[in-house]
Structure 1
């Protein structure tokens, strides 16, 4: 499920400026593989595995070792591009938790220790706050730097801010499925209603990509279940008896599976922009729902641009703005900008505007300038960056491995063709691009699992906090409500009439107030529900 957090985007930009933006109790998850199915039908979770399953025992053994070893934090390697006061270390985890004494992999970890004060105010340390930015495939090593941002000062005073690269990501036993140069190939086409010949071409690419992934030893062990187990080992290595965790986007699914597997190990959990954890939604159905939601967010962007036609001259209605966009798309199909930006790159760049409204002004400028004869802003924003090719391919490889391993997928392309063709009639913006990204799962070589049936009973967990924007497209709001129903005692804070993906520590002071109250005092909203007015829309930039 294509997703990334606003916090990730904010923190990333801080990094670039020298500082940066989808489960001990019994487990219901399935390490047991299930046969491929086609077409997809609702998945009934397998019966709970025994609390003394090999994976459960293996996690306990790995956590015990990690608690004894701790984490040796020191200067971060130059490749991490993390300045002081961030320090780095590693934690060893089993590749296969059923065999905890077998092959070990090392996860990279970063930390800034709690400052203990905010200005003249002294704040007691409350332990480590661990962050996962989502993906799958997101790298959270930058996270400790958010403590330099005003919105995070109080949290950074009370907590060690801890980031990490999950298994397969960055330097944590990295996965790769394709030559990064081939993965970053540009320009590309991106038809919203692809022809039969184009579909055959993409099927061949998906088969090839799946075969490339199969060359990785241990591919089957890159799963959400193991990401949750890794999180418990990391907790132990940090010396924390219970976990305090903030997961964004896919990171919320890791956190919800952790809550299912290890409810007695939970101190506080924050779910920022929640993935729908219902087993029949993981992952095929969630991706269809996501594609439909992006159509609404794409309309939000075009409505904003139309309101500022005096600045951008792209049209006074969303429909006129769409015609301007389609005109650019048609020209790029025949004459790529800078020989690198075709319709595929255009679509990817404007998809980001569906995630974060911070992108709206610059994307509108790029469109306007292109139509005025200046392609440079569009090239700057949309052309692939060669230096990022390895990182991007790695992230995509992990994304693919986790989603394909986690659940059954349709194995007959006719199912994909039927579902996406229907959806593209009403939601053309993202539908087929999302389908092509996930299509390797139809031809996946590794065994698939049944998804965990995430749910907790009253009293199993301490109160948890869910944050959600009502018009979020990457993790649609229905997913937050589903998680709220499944985690007894959870509280849901909604940013109304807003669609930024990932809202913790962002521009909404109301949301941040609830986040601070929860992490610093353990307080959740009365009646387990609260609403915040939307943050202000972005200010237009002159073209």
Structure 2
């Protein structure tokens, strides 16, 4: 699960989800029955041009789009309707077509209409021949009835509650309460129905609209939770499932967030080693341990005294440095850039910024323009709707203070943020309990997991593997970063493509150690 507002597929993901009335639970259970035929058959889809893409998003000219109407509240399927936007890149050889492959880039709350365009260049001809690649903006996201809390700072990163320099969380408590109140006032009661469980139900309406008996699915980061929920609600409608960079369904979402401290400790040495290898130019330390000490001291210094960035109204804080670090740890090929960011931040704090440092910081402070017609705070709003609405969080402020202080000592790289208070502490009660992810169903799920993934750590992938039991096979890769496929392991890539082509899972879990740096 990525924790920043990412640029799309293979961008960032936050990995970070309980009760309702008996009447609502019973209504939802009826809708989720595998043989439910109560709702009318979907009308034929009307395919046409897609909405305007986000600036810079790759788009295959063959991509077409359509919309599917779904209930806002599946407990009242004849009530208010919303729309889910979907996209399609058709199979390139109809004679070899196997079915549809739905793609979700994670987030939570990343739009996905352009995911087929981004993913297709990484896939071999056999997969492109065999599948219609289907993208979608999940409910409330992008062009699918987008939601907004009217947040003044629209970035997801602004939501992450780093304590004050002295460890106090008083300001975090005030900010969390204010954000939750703003969402309640602006987005209203309906925001409670924008959940992962309802998104999974939407996917089944999409399946029906596509005229498919079953769907195959590839979810990344948060998308792994969405996929595991779908396959648990509709095991008989699930074909081939790939889950990459995984959320442990037993820890949704407060527990998943708290896993980031350990995940950062496992991933950070990869970047520190890159910086140490350039010590002559960077001066951050000759060993990974020295670089780590330099980084921690710099972050703490910026916590106390943020450094003004020339030519901008902004200052570089410790929280911002940690956020950029998290984002650039996503891929191995951005680790050298991260080392340059650390140098630029140190020079800025020392008051002797070079021209090269300035160019690096310009990239750090650059903002991607929003997608036309989509509220600027859409991802942040839906990030909150999902992480706060999927499962109930503690409402005890003192518990967060104690947990954050302990986490701060144990995992200094994250400074107590993952265990701190979030707006979810002041959120309305979820409309239903989380879906239980189990091992019931066909053996049809491939789990891809890096050993040094800071966004959804190794332990989370193992947790999902445990939940799915005999339904799944785990491909573990000795690599860092958040993504597995097309990131340097032929072992993992071959297992993925073979599964899509044939439906065969590895006979047993695989341990891939053949990573080559790209």
State TM-score, norm by structure 2: 0.86
Q: Which residue of 1 aligns with 2:46?
A: 72
Matched, 1:367 2:342: yes
Matched, 1:96 2:96: no
Which shifted more, 381-390 or 360-369?
381-390
1:221 to 171, 174, 193: 193
Q: Any conservation in 1 of the 2:97–2:130 contact (CA below 8 Å)?
A: yes
CA RMSD of aligned residues (A): 3.3
Per-residue deviation at 1:376?
1.7
SS in 2 for 1:301: helix
Counterpart Cα distance in 2 of 1:319 and 1:232: 49
CA deviation digits over 1:192-232, x for unaligned, max 9? Answer: 66437x52222111111101221324111111111111111
Q: 1:469-508 counterparts in 2 under 5 A?
A: 469-508=450-489
Q: 1:41-440 counterparts in 2 under 5 A?
A: 53-56=29-32, 60=36, 64-66=40-42, 69-79=43-53, 82-116=59-93, 124-146=96-118, 148-179=120-151, 181-184=152-155, 194-195=165-166, 199-215=169-185, 216-217=187-188, 218-278=190-250, 281-326=251-296, 328-329=298-299, 330=301, 333-338=305-310, 339-343=313-317, 344-369=319-344, 371=347, 373-374=353-354, 375-385=357-367, 387-388=369-370, 393-435=377-419, 439-440=422-423
Q: Which residue of 1 aligns with 2:513?
A: 533
Q: Any conservation in 1 of the 2:10–2:483 contact (CA below 8 Å)?
A: no
Counterpart Cα distance in 2 of 1:523 and 1:188: 42
Per-residue deviation at 1:65?
2.9
**For residues 188 and 511 of structure 1, do their structure 2 counterparts lie closer, same or farther at Cα, with a shift above 3 Å needed?**
closer
Counterpart Cα distance in 1 of 2:51 and 2:35: 28
Which shifted more, 186-195 or 329-338?
186-195
Q: Number of matched residues? A: 495
CA deviation digits over 1:265-286, x for unaligned, max 9? Answer: 11111111111112xx222122
Counterpart Cα distance in 1 of 2:472 and 2:6: 21
Per-residue deviation at 1:293?
1.5
Q: Which residue of 1 aligns with 2:438?
A: 455
SS in 1 for 2:240: strand
**For residues 255 and 3 of structure 1, do their structure 2 counterparts lie closer, same or farther at Cα, with a shift above 3 Å needed?**
farther
State TM-score, norm by structure 1: 0.82
SS in 1 for 2:239: strand
Q: Any conservation in 2 of the 1:468–1:503 contact (CA below 8 Å)?
A: yes
Counterpart Cα distance in 1 of 2:407 and 2:240: 38
The runs of 5 or more residues in structure 1 that have no matched partner are 13-21, 23-28, 35-45, 118-122, 539-543
